[in-house]
Structures are given as structure tokens and as C-alpha cells.
Amino acid sequence: MTLRIETQQKDRDRLRQVMLDGEAVSWLWVLDMRMRLLGEPIRMAGIGGVNTKEEHRMKGYARRLLSDTVRYMTDEGFDVSMLFGIPNLYDKFGYAPCLPEHRATIATRDAERAREAARGYSVRPLTEKDIPLVVRLHNEANRGRAGSLIRDAGRFHGFRLGSDWRRQAQASAVEDGDGRAVGYLVWDKSDTDVKAVEAEAGDPRAYAAILAELARLAVEKRCEEAELCLPADHPLMVFARRYGCRCHASYNRMSGGMMRILNQQGLFEKLGPALEGRLQDSALAGRRVRLRLETDLGVTRLLLNPDGKSESRVALKAPQDRLMQLVVGYRPLADLLTEDGVEAGGPAIEVTEALFGGQSPYVLASDRF
């Protein structure tokens, strides 16, 4: 019996397979993507399509493949990795929950009230000629959102999937009174419910037309409410508040949107400019900060605002997955310090809140893999 792991390059992505006597028995995809952390573009390895043939399950092949893939992604120069996982599996490979789920529901009768504010705007089917607008609006709107994927006009060809793998998506463009496309809406293709999974607008007033369109769809399908699957601070979620809505947030335990650090030093070198900027925009402006980060991946030392007149020295020791949760704003240091293996010295809570606090990490359903 011969067992090996082989990698096939397909465009920018890689198919990795466990081969048993020449037969693929377990496999996954490594997706070469770019995402934002603190507004900075970083290289992210997405893990998708993890599967093992039924007759070869419970033999350790997937575990061996995932362990080897973490080493492979690190050697290939990826900064972090992300996946959307089943419960109680991927934490064994250094992944931690980093992406909460948000949704809001609004009664159809309340959403219909947006029609008045939507006057002068119209909605039509999204076409291929609208794709550059979609890419631009998405990238601009999510520039500062932790975890958001950067869309590449050459690779993004429209919307296929909706809120989960079983649902297809439909999309519309929003035009202003001069016939210019100024926004778009994506929702689940369904006969039984109305669920928006993405919406952006260059003109903030266009969100009235988007909400009114969701109300129209709800009336057409005889739904009592419409659902918005968007981050809590999204402009459409904020707009819906004026008409009355119910909001819900979910934080998964060892499942859902999970991340881990791969190349710690390279990651923080890329985040350096953003960290400098956040420090200058905080109450710590004018202070020099020496930050020492120690994880199972090694030690990273950062000097921020070297010309500051006073100095703070901060040391943080934590597993890399907990540091990942801190960096994306999923958990504050005050909470992490209640766990074994997390230690801090100096004004660590104050400094880390300035550097990483106030974020709302999220990946839109259309960008999941």
C-alpha cells in the first residue's frame, strides 16, 4: 500500500489529494484569495471542498491531509487561512471562530413604507455589463471590514449561490432618475421566503429602493417578513431601523467562519501601516508603542509611532488562534485573558483596544466557499 499527498495547480487554486495506491481517497481545495484586515490587503488561503470517500472515512486521511495542508500553505507564503467548517473538527488544526453571523427581519408591511423614499429610483435585472459596478461598490464598501474578500474583476463573474449551498441567487441593479446604475441587490431564489444576502449602493438614498424591492418580493411571495443577512453595521441594516426591525447575532462554537494565522511575521509587516494609523487616531496618539507578540508560531516585535514622546511596552503571549480572534476584532483582550495560555504585560488592554477594537468582521454569503 502506497500513500502520498499530491497537489494539482488549477489557475490560482490548488487541488490537494490523498492518493492511496493511485486512487484519490480524500481531498480539499486551497483557494488563493485576497482579503482585508484593518483595511490592508493580505494573502488568504481559503479551504473548501473538503471530502473523503465514504468507504475510506475514519481512517485518518482527512486529518493527515489537513495537517499537511497547513504546512503547505505556510510554505507557499499565505498570511492567514479561512474556512467555513462543521463543528468540532477544524479547531484541531489551529482554526478558531472569527466571523459572527448577523441577520435582521422586517415585517413586509413596514418595509413597504420605504416606497415613498424610493421615488425616483427603479430596479431592473442585473446584467453582465453591471459586473464592474458590483466589483467596485463591493470593494469600496468593504475596504475597512475585517475578513472581507477583495473581488477581482477578472475572476468575479456574477452571483451563483445565495445564503447557503442549496440556494441559488438572483440579482437586480438599482438605477437613479437619470438611468444610471447606482447600486445592486442580491437575494435567494426562493418561492417561500425573501432573504437578501448582499446589497451595496454608491448613492445612500438608493437603499430605500432596495428595501422597497424586498417588500415587493415579499408581497409577491405572500411572506409576512423579509430577512437581511448582512453585517450589523451595514447601511441597509441601519436604514431598516427607521421602519422597525429585529436583529439577531450568532457566534458559533468551533464551527462556521473560522481563521488561523500562517505566517505571523509577514502578516504583521503588512498590517504595520494600518496599526500606525489606528494608534494615531486613538487616545494614544503621540505615544511610542513597543509590542511583543509571542505565539506557538514564534515572536513578532513591532515598534509603532517611533517618534512618540512617551512610551508603552506591551507583551502578549497567546496561541496563534486567539491572536487571530483579537486581530479581526472578534474577541477583546480582556475576554481572552480569562483563558489559560493567554498572558499580557503593560497597558495591553488599552493598546490592543486601540489597535484592533471597534471592528465588525464578516464575509458576505456570495463570497463564501
**What pTM does this model have?**
0.95
Radius of gyration, CA atoms only, the chain? 22
Q: What is the mean pLDDT of residues 116-134?
A: 97
pLDDT 10s digits, 232-277:
999 999 999 999 999 999 999 999 999 999 999 999 999 999 999 9
- By the 8 A CB rule, do 354 and 91 touch? no
What is the rounded distance in angstroms from the CA atom of residue 366 to the CA atom of residue 369?
9
Half-sphere exposure of 93 (CA within 13 A, CB side): 26
Give backbone dihedrals phi and psi of 268, rounded to 5 degrees, phi first: -75, -25
Amino acid identity of residue 279, one-letter, is: L
Of 349, 350, 327, 321, whose CA–CA distance to 270 is shortest? 327
Predicted pLDDT at 133: 97
Residue 83's DSSP bridge partners are: 47, 258
- Examine the pLDDT at 153 and tell me if it is beyond 90: no
What is the rounded distance in angstroms from the CA atom of residue 45 to the CA atom of residue 81?
5
Predicted pLDDT at 324: 98
Q: What is the mean pLDDT of residues 202-215?
A: 98
What is the rounded distance in angstroms from the CA atom of residue 188 to the CA atom of residue 161?
8
Q: Going from the N-terminus, what domains does the chain have, and what CATH number goes with each?
A: 3-97+253-261 (3.40.630.30), 101-250 (3.40.630.30), 264-356 (3.30.1050.10)
Split at pLDDT 50, 70, 90, the class of 1 is confident
Amino acid identity of residue 358, one-letter, is: G
Predicted pLDDT at 174: 98
- Examine the pLDDT at 70 and tell me if it is beyond 90: yes
